[in-house]
Amino acid sequence: MALTPVLIRDVSEDEILSRIVPLLPVSPHATVKSGDDCAVLEVNQVAVSTDMLVEGVHFRRDWSTGADVGWRAAMQNIADAVAMGARPSTLVVSMELPGDLPLAWVEDCARGMAQATRSCGCGIDGGDLVGGKAVVLGVTVLGDMEGRAPRLRSGARPGEALIHAGNIGHAATGYELLRRGFTPSRSVRQPRSRCNVARNYVKSAHDVFMENFLRPWPPVSAVLNAVRAGSLGALMDVSDGLLRDARRMAKASHMWLDIDTLKLEENFRAVMVVAPQLGMHDCLDWAYRTVLGGGEDHGFLATLRRHEEKAWGLHTPLLPQGFKRIGTVRDKWEGGRVTLDGKDIPAYLGNSGWDHFSR
């Protein structure tokens, strides 16, 4: 006989905390752990960022397990800290929980957050629980600058290579597959031991894309290694689409960024694999829109510090491991400019990318 699940309305806040706190890792820099009025961390210069995940806006429970949501909530905040050149130290997590939510879902969410944070050496040290009408997660990340100056969007300089680490277009493709009724196989749900571990198992392209939407994999180690080596000029997380975020870097730096679409051919070909199954009539056009405009991959856009190059040339820069060149910082440009192959962005791509407040 099936057991009746324990719901949130059936237990107290202390009972919920007693079930999820033991699942969460503690920051190695915590001198006072979660459970008091505040956790206390031993860090110097701190990078701080906050993100929210709202049910029905950022995730659906019929698509995502609790572990998927927990993983994603942690990773999108970890990516923000890394984008500043900071090593993620800890997360503070607040949750709104409806009364009819199974307690097991919340425990699963905690396990997903723990998997993500442990894989990056990050802790979870505090937060809050409230009742409400939908599942909402508010996550704040604290990152240790490790004595370095922050890497900024405004750091691009003329002549630098425009480089990228991580996936481009995978999450948007995965979202479209889920929206059209495709279901990920069980292998998608298996935990991984590292943030940027190689996929050494066989799975379909559909599963890869859906996994990358449900559980994004920001290349944390590759970016932090490049930051520590002093290889990067400007740096930012790409969460709202390559073109939209490139515009933000261009505007902040007052630079002209030119993206070379030939260097994105591998990305276009990758997502085109599933275009026929999605009923796309013009597969290449859809691939362009998806790669250039799709968000939620949490890769990283950066520029390569020119003085780090030992054999400078437009086509042969020495790149940090995990990065690939996708363009060039052409020149100064007041207010910023982004082009594709030296030409203005076509009108049909003009408003590409994710915007919470677009209509």
Binding-site annotation: residue ranges: 37, 49-51, 58, 80, 127-128, 153, 237, 239-240, 296, 354
User: What pairing do the DSSP bridges indicate for beta strands 323-332 and 337-340?
Assistant: unpaired
Long-range contacts of 331-334 (CB under 8 A, 24+ apart): 331/158, 331/255, 331/256, 332/158, 332/254, 332/255, 332/256, 333/250, 333/254, 333/255, 333/256, 334/254
In whole angstroms, what separates CA 46 from the centre of its chain? 20
CB 268 within 8 A of CB 284: yes
Cα 287 to Cα 274: distance, rounded to the nearest angstrom: 10
Annotation: binding site for Mg(2+): 37, 49-51, 80, 128, 237, 240
Instruction: Classify the phi-psi angles of 230: left when phi > 0, otherwise alpha if psi is within -120 to 50, otherwise beta.
Output: left
Cα 359 to Cα 357: distance, rounded to the nearest angstrom: 6
Annotation: binding site for ATP: 127-128, 153, 239
User: What pairing do the DSSP bridges indicate for beta strands 232-238 and 136-144?
Assistant: unpaired
Which tokens belong to 170?
């995978």
Q: Quick check: helix, strand or coil at residue 333?
A: coil
Neighbours of 269 (CB within 10 A): 12
What amino acid occupies position 330? R
User: What pairing do the DSSP bridges indicate for beta strands 255-259 and 337-340?
Assistant: parallel
